[in-house]
Copies of this chain bind each other. A is one copy, B any other.
Amino acid sequence: MRFEAITIKDIATALGLSTSTVSRALRDSHEISVETKKLVRAYAEEHNYRPNPIALSLKEKRSRSIGVVVCEIANSFFSQIINGIESIAYDRGYNVIISQSHESYKREVIDLNYLASRSIDGLLISVSMETTNFDHLKSLHNKGLPIVFFDRVVDEIDTHKVIIDNSTGAYNATVHLIENGFKRIANINISEHSFIAQGRLSGYKKALQDHNVPIDEKLIRYCEHGGQDYAELEREMDALFAQKKKPDAVFAGSDTMTMGILRYFKSRKMRIPEDIALVGFSNSENADLLQPALTVIKQPAFEMGKKATELLLKVIEAKRPDKDFENFVLPAELVVRESSERKK
C-alpha cells in the first residue's frame, strides 16, 4: 500500500515543459516568463503539488530533521522541554525525532547510532544518568554533527549548552528550609557523577555554610539511576533513616525522586511537614494538588527547549563553523507550599 504524490515531472509532461522550467517557475526564477509561471503555479496548486522532501534532502545533503534524546518523555520536565523544542523546530520547518534513553547508557548509544544513521542535521541531548563515558558523543561531534546539550550537559565537549542554575536553585531551597527552622536537612541526589548533582550539591552545601549549619555527609545520598527504580530510592531512604540522628527535612534532586520520596513517607505514615519536611525539584503541573501541597523548585523547561533549539539551528544553518559557544543559564524558581511549613 503506497501513497503516491504528484511530481515536477508530472507537471512538466502535462504542460509540455521541461522539469527545469517547472522547477524554476515554482521557485519564481526571473528567467521564466510571467505566463509560464502562472500556468505552472495554477497546475501545481490545483493538483496540490508539494516538493518531495526526501529528494530535496538528498540534493541538499540535509534532512531538515533534528534528533532529540531524553531519558523519558513521560516526565513533566522533559515533555515540557520537548514542547519548547517543537515550538521552534516547527516554525523553522524542521521535524523532531525523539528517542528515549530510559537512563540507560547502552540504550543511549543505540539511540545515537540510530539517529546518526537517519542522517539528522543536528542533535539535542540530555545525557542519561548512567553515562560516564562520552566517546559516542565525542565521535559524532568530531565528525561535525552539530550538538547542543541541555540540562545534563557534558563538560568535556565544546559546544552550546543550556542549563538550569542548579546551584542557586538548590541554595534557595536549602535556605528556605533553614529559615523555616529545619536543622538536619538531607539531600537525596541523582548520580554523583552527573553535572546536575554537582551543581545542586554545591548550592546545598553553600546554603548550610552561609547559615552556619554543619555539613553532615551522612545526610547526603545518591541514586545512581535517579530514582527511576523505586527500589533503589527506597534503599537509600532506608539507609538515611536508619541513622541515629535522623533528618528533619529532605531536599530531593529530581522530579521522579521527589515523587518517590513523597510516596516513601506516605507508606511509612510519616507526617509532612510535622515529622519530615520535603522540598524537591519538580515540574509537575499538579504539585499543588498533592498531599501535602509540595514546595518545589520549578525549572523553566519550555524556555530551555526553545533556547536549545534556537542555538542548534544557529549552528546547523551557519555558513562557517563558529567556535564561540554559549553556556546559557536559566533560573529555577522556588514555589513555597505546605510541605516545608515552619516548624512549630
A residues with CB within 8 A of B = 1-5, 50-55, 57-58, 61-63, 65, 73-74, 76, 79-80, 82-83, 86, 90, 95-100, 114, 116-119, 121, 140, 143-146, 259, 262-263, 266, 284-286, 288-293, 315-316, 318, 320-321
Chain B residues positioned under 8 Å from A114 (CB to CB): 90, 95
| Known contacts A3-B119, A52-B58, A52-B119, then 17 further A-B pairs from the complex at CB < 8 Å, ordered by chain A residue | A1-B146, A1-B320, A2-B61, A2-B144, A3-B121, A4-B61, A50-B116, A53-B117, A54-B58, A54-B63, A54-B119, A55-B58, A58-B58, A86-B100, A90-B114, A95-B114, A289-B290
Q: Which 5 A-B pairs have the closest CB atoms?
A: A291-B291, A74-B79, A3-B145, A3-B144, A50-B117
- Known A2-B62, A53-B118, A58-B55; contact A82-B73, beta-carbon cutoff 8 A: yes
Chain B residues positioned under 8 Å from A98 (CB to CB): 86, 96, 98
Q: A46 CB to closest chain B CB, in angstroms?
A: 14
Complexed CA–CA distance, A80 and B100 (Å): 12
Complexed CA–CA distance, A263 and B293 (Å): 12
Q: A137 CB to closest chain B CB, in angstroms?
A: 13
Complexed CA–CA distance, A289 and B290 (Å): 6
Q: Which residue of B has the minimal Cβ distance to A102?
A: B83
Chain B residues positioned under 8 Å from A118 (CB to CB): 53, 95
CB of A318 within 8 A of CB of B1, answer: yes
Chain B residues positioned under 8 Å from A4 (CB to CB): 61, 143-144
Q: A123 CB to closest chain B CB, in angstroms?
A: 10
CB of A263 within 8 A of CB of B288, answer: yes
Q: A73 CB to closest chain B CB, in angstroms?
A: 5
Chain B residues positioned under 8 Å from A99 (CB to CB): 86, 90
CB of B288 within 8 A of CB of A289, answer: no
24 contacting pairs across A/B (C-beta < 8 A): A1-B146, A1-B315, A1-B316, A1-B318, A1-B321, A3-B145, A5-B143, A52-B119, A54-B54, A54-B58, A54-B63, A73-B83, A74-B76, A74-B80, A83-B100, A86-B98, A86-B99, A90-B99, A95-B114, A263-B288, A263-B289, A266-B289, A286-B290, A291-B292
Q: A108 CB to closest chain B CB, in angstroms?
A: 13
Chain B residues positioned under 8 Å from A3 (CB to CB): 119, 121, 140, 143-146
Complexed CA–CA distance, A97 and B94 (Å): 11
Chain B residues positioned under 8 Å from A146 (CB to CB): 1, 3
Complexed CA–CA distance, A204 and B164 (Å): 46
Complexed CA–CA distance, A90 and B79 (Å): 19
